[in-house]
Amino acid sequence: MLGSLGLVIPVRDDLRVLEGYHSPQVDVDVRLNTNESPLSPPDAFRDALAAELSRIEWHRYPDRAATELRRAIADWHGVDPSMVFAANGSNEVLQTILLTYAGAGRRVATFEPTYQMHAQIARVVGSEVVEGERNADFTLDPDELRRVVDEYDPHVTFLTSPNNPTGLVEPSERIGELLDVTNGLVVADEAYAQFADWSALELLDDDRPLVVTRTFSKTWSMAGVRLGYAIGPAWFVDELEKVVLPYHLDAVKQLAGRVALRFVDDMNERVRLIVDERERLSTTMRGMPIDVTPSGANFILFRPTSIGGRDLWQQLLDRSILVRDCSGWPRLADCLRVTVGTPDENDAFITALKEILT
């Protein structure tokens, strides 16, 4: 009834300015816009999962501590299970971290351009977002890092490596420098780290406020399942467990994650294929009127130099190829981001680029 009178209940004052996170899902032949794996998981994984599903106790709540899943993740990374926190995609991991360590009256630092959800979730949980800027080539200047920490004393600072949407891998010195100066938590978002050549996992230490977040969405071909995790000191995981909802991780997902970890070799093979394809794409694109940002991820940020970015995006879409249009984002004028697809999808993308640009 109230709706028919046109009454709209106002949201929290600090949420009114938020625009939400948009990544259009358009029906096209070649979808290269959301950084998923272009390959479905191995058949053997699906068979093994199907066989084990029958053993799930559907009428019982799942294991609240996700004991076996955490043990499997911990074994894979060579850490103790007490250092693993799992949730519904790394986005929920990030949200739980921010609910625990940020929130009203606290500050969260990001270095732009970077993954938009860091600032978005930080604001949703009521924190103030303080932004540092990257250089024109998207690298991060250590002086800028220090400036932001000195000026704002952030409670949580994000570094994304490889960074989204730029694809650049953050050098380990940058994370070390940040840890040297900050009084807050450092979150290394490593959603794409398996495509890169180093990981901040190497720097983890019980006495350091460093945590690393990972996801099953990319390399594990499991974006549809929504599973991510953080690895960090046990004291950090203990705090997150107090904040997250009870039984947040359903039994099917816990099982899917465990079964996936039996297929590490298949996953590594997929990573190799994507990395090879990424290098093929980058090399080919460098031979065209395009600025290509070096990528350590499963996507490439690029800027056409002979036509506008939005124009190129539309012309690709006219050929049923969807890439991410970043051209309207601050500091990313004319930039587009392409996810590395299957060899056939990448061929279609290259053929279209050639048609449009040459």
Question: Where do contacts with ligand PMP occur on this chain (CB under 6 A)?
Answer: 35, 89-91, 115, 160, 164, 189, 191, 215, 217, 223, 228
Q: How many CB atoms lie within 10 A of CB 206?
A: 11
Cβ 228 to ligand PMP shortest distance, Å: 4
If the CB atoms of residues 74 and 223 are measured against ligand PMP, the closer one turns out to be 223
Q: Does the bond joining 165 to the residue before it have cis omega, within 30 degrees of 0? A: yes
If the CB atoms of residues 300 and 352 are measured against ligand PMP, the closer one turns out to be 300
Cβ 121 to ligand PMP shortest distance, Å: 10
279, two tokens: 């290098």
Task: Tell me the residue nearest to ligand PMP as measured from the CB.
Answer: 89
Q: Which residue has the tokens 């539309």?
A: 314
Q: Which residue has the tokens 């998207």?
A: 138
If the CB atoms of residues 189 and 325 are measured against ligand PMP, the closer one turns out to be 189
How far is 298 from 264, CA to CA, in rounded Å?
A: 18
Roughly how many angstroms between the first and final C-alpha of the chain, as a whole number? 59
Which candidate, 276, 299, 301, 303, places its Cα nearest to that of 289? 303
If the CB atoms of residues 161 and 352 are measured against ligand PMP, the closer one turns out to be 161
If the CB atoms of residues 164 and 327 are measured against ligand PMP, the closer one turns out to be 164
- Answer yes or no: are the C-beta atoms of 231 and 201 closer than 8 Å: yes
User: Alpha carbon of 205 to those of 174, 208, 231, 235: distances in Å?
Assistant: 17, 5, 10, 11
Cβ 159 to ligand PMP shortest distance, Å: 11
If the CB atoms of residues 152 and 195 are measured against ligand PMP, the closer one turns out to be 195
252, two tokens: 């099917």
Cβ 330 to ligand PMP shortest distance, Å: 17
- Answer yes or no: are the C-beta atoms of 96 and 87 closer than 8 Å: yes
111, two tokens: 């270095």
User: Alpha carbon of 318 to those of 27, 28, 51, 313, 327: distances in Å?
Assistant: 12, 9, 43, 9, 18
Cβ 44 to ligand PMP shortest distance, Å: 23
If the CB atoms of residues 170 and 189 are measured against ligand PMP, the closer one turns out to be 189
Cβ 189 to ligand PMP shortest distance, Å: 5
Cβ 287 to ligand PMP shortest distance, Å: 28
